[in-house]
Structure 1
Amino acid sequence: MPTIRVLIADDQTLVRTGFRVILEAEDDIEVVAEADTGAEAIRQAQLTRPDVILMDIRMPELDGLAATERILRQEDPPTIVVLTTFDHQEYVYRALHAGAAGFLLKDAPSSRLIAAVRAAATGDSLIEPSITRRLVERFAAPPPAAGPPAELAALTERERDVLRLIAGGLSNAEIAAELVVAETTVKTHVARILAKLNVRDRVQAVVIAYRTGFVAR
């Protein structure tokens, strides 16, 4: 298995050190650089070409949102997982539109951090259900009186099962284990769900699931 190269961008030294210790204890993960400002994150991303960036939102000089937008405009950009807290709902919403692949609470357990990095490195994403629920509560419109949109009705029973598990914060590998199927099968289901719901990514699919009442808040 190839080594996952990670850049940690956070203005708190203790946070960066803690994340580095956790990640480098894994055989398949290497922290190639750290950054304490958004501008430094952009520079290190260009110098070290990481696979995954853990990006804090609030940093001096240039915040994590602006850094995310600039990095993702580059050719063959890395995957960016945004570090957040419950106090940053508006920032998370902006990060979603900037193209961030996932969101991770800063106080998440170490197993969640490792899972998020591995999921991001494979093109998957790991969505914290608590973050998604708060986004829905803050930004999503209430369900229409006529019921859920027709796109949800087009999902097969297995696709609905997969969507529920995505909304529960599970990665493709975790869904595969839960449903006792191959991970490639899950990836196919996810691709079909996104196509049928006409959404760009898993986060948008989960927002629809919550907004329509398909998954309870």
Structure 2
Amino acid sequence: MIRLLIVDDHPVVRAGLVGLLSDEPGFEVVAEAADGAQAVRLAAATRPDVVLMDLRMPGVDGVEATARITADGAARVLILTTYESDDQILSAIEAGASGYLLKAAPQDEIVAGIRSVAAGQSALSPQVAVRLVERMRHPEPPVLTARETEVLGLVATGHSNKQIASTLGIGESTVKTHLLKVFEKLGVADRTRAVTLAMERGLLPGGRE
């Protein structure tokens, strides 16, 4: 028996899912939640196998609730929502969701998705899968803040951390923090590679347009 927690802030949608899934062989709806905070509490209390999670809810949203539930190991989470923007998809998956389906999906696709997630596999709607593949093929370039760009620009002209701190009127520790963030965003480990890659990507003046 696959134990389910249904999370949606719309009572009619929630009731519809409960009715749909309660009639499905091998499924048992053990709890319902109207927001993310309640979902986290009920997941800890009832230990369902799968949480069907909406994304946009008042207070604690679906992404944050997913992160808390999966971090606690309370259950596996399957996103079931009407939203499919790239950022929302990635945020949900990064938070630990095992799948992402749309509410408009056919009933058999939702049921199959639940069974897959309960079995330790993933479940993605065809539309979402296509978006993820395209995102991987054409990743968005990293975005540096104005201050990170200033710091890296001064590194590019040969300034030391001490000189950068003096020029910008900030502490050396702050300069180091900015550089570490730049390294993380660019996926590099040293100043030279950071400058070279930033110029290649047109993130610094004089780089490729």
- Is the shorter-chain TM-score for this pair beyond 0.5, marking a shared fold? yes
Q: Does 1:103 align with 2:111?
A: no
The runs of 5 or more residues in structure 1 that have no matched partner are 144-217
Matched to 2:10, the amino acid is Q
Deviations along 1:97-120, one digit per CA (max 9) or x if unpaired, are 111100110111111111111111
TM-score (norm 2): 0.63
Aligned to 2:187: none
Q: Is the 8 A contact 1:53 1:80 kept in 2?
A: yes
SS class of match (1:81): strand
> Identity of aligned pairs, percent?
45
List runs of 5+ in structure 2 lacking aligned partners.
140-209
Matching residue of 2:133? 136
CA RMSD of aligned residues (A): 1.6
What SS does structure 2 have at the residue aligned with 1:140?
A: helix
After TM superposition, where is structure 1 displaced by more than 4 Å over at least 4 residues in a row? none
In structure 1, what is the Cα distance between the partners aligned to 2:42 and 2:74?
A: 12
CA pair 8-116 structure 1, distance change in 2 beyond 3 A: same
- State the Cα distance separating 1:85 from its structure 2 match: 2.8
TM-score, normalized by length of structure 1? 0.60
Task: Identify the residue that residue 194 of structure 2 maps to in structure 1.
Answer: none
Task: Note the alpha carbon deviations across 1:171-209, whole angstroms, 9 max, x for none.
Answer: xxxxxxxxxxxxxxxxxxxxxxxxxxxxxxxxxxxxxxx
Of 61, 70, 73, 1:72 maps to 70
1:93 to 90, 94, 115: 90
Query: Which of 115, 119, 124 pairs up with 2:121?
Result: 124
Shift of 1:86: 4.5
Aligned residue for 2:60, secondary structure, equals coil
Residues 5-154 of structure 1 aligned to structure 2 (within 5 Å): 5-74=3-72, 76-137=73-134, 139-142=135-138
Aligned residues of 2:67 and 2:95 also touching (Cα < 8 A): yes
> How far apart in 2 are the matches of 1:142 and 1:110?
32
Cα shift at 1:128 = 1.1
Partner of 1:179: none
Q: Which amino acid aligns with 1:58?
A: R
Change (3 A) 1:142 1:67: closer
Name the count of aligned residue pairs.
Answer: 139
Whether the 8 Å contact between 1:84 and 1:92 is mirrored in structure 2 is: no
CA contact (8 A) 2:52 2:77 kept: yes
Q: Which amino acid is the alignment partner of residue 136 of structure 2?
A: A
How big is the shift at 1:14? Answer: 1.3
Q: Distance in 2 between matches of 1:80 and 1:134?
A: 20
Give 1 or 2 for the bigger CA radius of gyration.
2
Between the aligned partners of 2:39 and 2:26, the Cα distance in structure 1 is 22
CA contact (8 A) 2:44 2:74 kept: no
How far the C-alpha of 1:140 sits from its partner, in A, is: 2.7
CA distance in 2, matches of 1:111, 1:77: 26
Cross-structure match for 1:149:
none
